[in-house]
Amino acid sequence: MKPKSKKILRVLFILIVFLGLNVEGFISQSNYEFSGNESWFGTSAARTLFFNETTAYNFIETQLSFGPRVPGTLSHIECADWIREELVDITDNIMTHNFTIQKYSEPSYHCQNILGKINPAKENIVIFGAHWDSRNVAEKDTENQSSPIPGANDGGSGVAVLLELARVLYAYKDELDCQVWFLFIDAEDQGYSRGMYGLEGWYWAEGSLAFVNEIDNYYNSSVEIFECFILLDMVGGSNLQFIKESRSDEALHDSIFDEGVKLGYYEAFPSRPKVMAITDDHVAFDAFGISVIDLIIDFVEGDWTYHHTHSDDLSNIDIESLLITGLTMESFMKTYYTLNQNKDWRNTDLPTSVYLSIAVSSLFLVGLLVYLILKKKLKPKSTS
């Protein structure tokens, strides 16, 4: 073969490999367009999503402005009132589940779970949950361990994404074929860790258990059915990477991770996530028989190292992580819970990542074949 032909072939081969490697990102990004069209589905074939990360970020800022949201404090009451005020224009009705927690000879604490509902007349219910209290101690810090943490990510981020998601879904509620609950859960983060209680004698996730114990007061069990419970906890930190929480429903987990991958968020929704069992607000809903997912990071050994320290503040929030979480949730609702679609996350096909891998491998093989054929064709004929 002439050196020139060889060179052309080599360039062609590199180009094919390069294209193959990049097709994954290309496919995922070209499907989405973020604009302000009137309809949720837009006027063109391009899909549109509307979750706004700046609004979500501002919601964290507001929560922190109240101070630590620890039961028994004024900041706690102020934050609850603010959540209810925010929900007025973005949900159809608002309910408060008041309860008290009292341990041993400790004082009694007034707590409140706040529920905002969209489309309450629909039969099927999707619940989004997040805890809104913040931890009273900083047991993982090296200083001031007995004073409360800001809780920007641990508490603040879940509430922020829920509120912004409620705004988006409320705007398109006529296109949804389900009821959506936004549940702001109190008394999650005061349990025992490293020799310290948040509040003396408290367990983790007391608020969700109290709510589930009285859930019959909030829906009509002879007509309404729960679809799933999606818990968002610590979704706004830098280096966002979700784990596979072991109590979470397998199909629900796969479907949500798949939505993230479709949007191009490969790092946040890895194909082989860490598997961990977490005690969190989803446990009570799981025990009640609802399919659950705890969308959470590895706060023990992961890259976000500010869990239960005073550094869980705004400086360690990444606005992009709020966007990733919010868009993925919005996309999930659009895929599975809009009118005139019959997709069910319980029996989805193979995850998109598998299809993409097949596409990439096929392209690579075709490229290799073309290369081999051309190489043979361009080979100089031997003279005798």
Between CA 325 and CA 312 the distance in angstroms is 18
**Residue closer to Zn ion, measured from CB, 139 or 154:** 154
| Helices 319-336 & 158-171 angle (0-180, nearest 10) | 40
Can residue 154 be called a binding residue for Zn ion (CB under 5 A)? yes
**Residue closer to Zn ion, measured from CB, 133 or 330:** 133
**Residue closer to Zn ion, measured from CB, 190 or 241:** 190
Site for Zn ion in 364-383 (CB under 5 A): none
Q: How far is the CB of 131 from Zn ion (least distance, A)?
A: 8
**Residue closer to Zn ion, measured from CB, 20 or 68:** 68
> Contact letters (x/-) for Zn ion, 185-224, by CB under 5 A?
----x-----------------------------------
Site for Zn ion in 171-190 (CB under 5 A): 189
Within the chain, what is the greatest distance between any pair of CA atoms? 104
Cβ neighbors of 57 (< 8 A, separation 6 or more) are 160, 317, 319, 322
Closest CA to 14 of 368, 378, 373, 362: 368
| Helices 250-262 & 319-336 angle (0-180, nearest 10) | 110
Of 22-30, 152-160, 224-232, 371-379: span binding Zn ion (CB under 5 A): 152-160
Q: How far is the CB of 154 from Zn ion (least distance, A)?
A: 4
**Residue closer to Zn ion, measured from CB, 189 or 254:** 189
| Residue pair 140/309 in contact by the 8 Å Cβ criterion | yes
Can residue 141 be called a binding residue for Zn ion (CB under 5 A)? no
> Contact letters (x/-) for Zn ion, 88-127, by CB under 5 A?
----------------------------------------
Complete DSSP assignment for 62-97: HHHHH----TTSHHHHHHHHHHHHHHTTTSSEEEEE
**Residue closer to Zn ion, measured from CB, 126 or 160:** 160
Q: Please give the size of the binding site for Zn ion, defined by CB under 5 A.
A: 2
Can residue 318 be called a binding residue for Zn ion (CB under 5 A)? no
Complete DSSP assignment for 332-380: HHHHHSBTT----GGG--S-HHHHHHHHHHHHHHHHHHHHHHHHHHHSP
Query: Which residues of this chain interact with Zn ion, rule CB under 5 A?
Result: 154, 189
